[in-house]
Amino acid sequence: MIIILVFGALILLAFLKFSNPYNVNKKANFWFGLFLLLWASFWMEEIVLVANFGALNKYFAALIHYLQIFLCVFFYFSIVFYINPNFKFHLTDTRHLIIPCIFLVINLMQFLNEHNRGNILPTLAAGLIIFQSVLYTAIAFFKIRKHQKHVQQFSSDTIEIDLSWLERIIIILFVTSLLFAAYSFINDMPTPNAYINFVQLVAVFFIAYYSSKQKEIYPVDEKQRTELIAFNEEPLHDSKRKILTDHDIAILKQQLINLMMDQKPYLDSELNLVKLADLLSISSHQLSYVINTGFNENFFQYINKYRVEKAKDLLLSSEKNNLTILAIAFESGFNSKTSFNTTFKKITNKTPSEFKKTSSDL
């Protein structure tokens, strides 16, 4: 029963990714849908047996087993398109076909020598899958962590765009690949039991929940979108490479402080680096350099420092005593209670509720 639920849930989730009802992250969701379909194929043979359809045709089964080597590749490109929706394939990306090609050769040799017992081909295939899983786990983690560092340089709210949920899926993918290698190529490996399948089912529901909540990482406005994507693809600032003189930095620092005090742009929950740079009539690179070098902070830290100070005033104000925590979050420029609580505690080491209580006790 659990097998059917896992298989059905993956197929349904893949269909939702392909149909993309919310019309967001189109290319990323397409690749993610391909990844989910391949993941579902791990249970195809069991589903056929449970449904009493007999065994899969050996040629079709061999094809399915071969295509499963693309699981990591499809997942990797879904991450690539989440991070950069404008990504274009280049000739260098053909390197992702190296492992599948080697796997194809091993599979063909194994298929032609299926009656030859004692050969090392199954071990080689299993080793290749394990190697691929470790390799792509490392690459994917590095890419997401790099994105998480970059996203704080241009966005004032990272909770729903830092792709942290994908890190957990990477671990699930890694474990799944190891199970596949063991199950498919080690003869004495027992069929995955109900407990393993239950864990997989929970993982699918986890993926369904978080992937459906994933927002567009970049603004819909084409100018801002293009500029921020280009900014995200560049290396983080090198403190030794000077973009502005010390005199220019000092002037822009004061202009930025005046802007924050007078116009309070931090109250805009969708404020990003390009928006703020436009208000100062400078480039996003110059603004980022001023914040990084002049204040020794990134964009996320700089903006949310003002938001937290605003929230503190509201929490301590007797006139605003009737406001809920959520209302205070919105009035301070945050766009969700989760973002408010997380950022507030990171800066003050207290939750908003704890801050209000301890302050009122003084």
Residue 53 has pLDDT above 80, yes or no: no
Q: b vs e for 305-328, b when ≥16 Cβ sit within 10 Å of the residue's Cβ?
A: bbbbebbbebbeeeeeeeeebeeb
In this prediction, residue 185 has a pLDDT band, given cuts at 50, 70 and 90, of: low
Over 70: is that where the pLDDT of 236 sits?
Answer: no
Q: What tens digit of pLDDT does each residue of 80-118 get?
A: 999 988 899 999 999 999 999 999 998 888 777 766 555
Note the pLDDT of residue 190. 47
Local structure of 155: helix, strand or coil? strand
The rounded distance, in Å, linking the Cα atoms of 358 and 245 is: 44
In the chain, count of helices (H) and strands (E)? Answer: 17, 0
Mean pLDDT value across the chain: 85
What's the pLDDT at 51?
67
pLDDT at 239 over 70: no
pLDDT digits (tens, 9 = 90+) for 268-309: 999 999 999 999 999 999 999 999 999 999 999 999 999 999
Strand partners, 155: 272
Query: Who wins on pLDDT, 181 or 227?
Result: 227
For residue 287, give both structure tokens. 């603004």
Say whether pLDDT at 61 is over 70. yes
Averaged pLDDT for residues 8-27: 90
Q: Can you read off the two tokens belonging to residue 193?
A: 């039991």
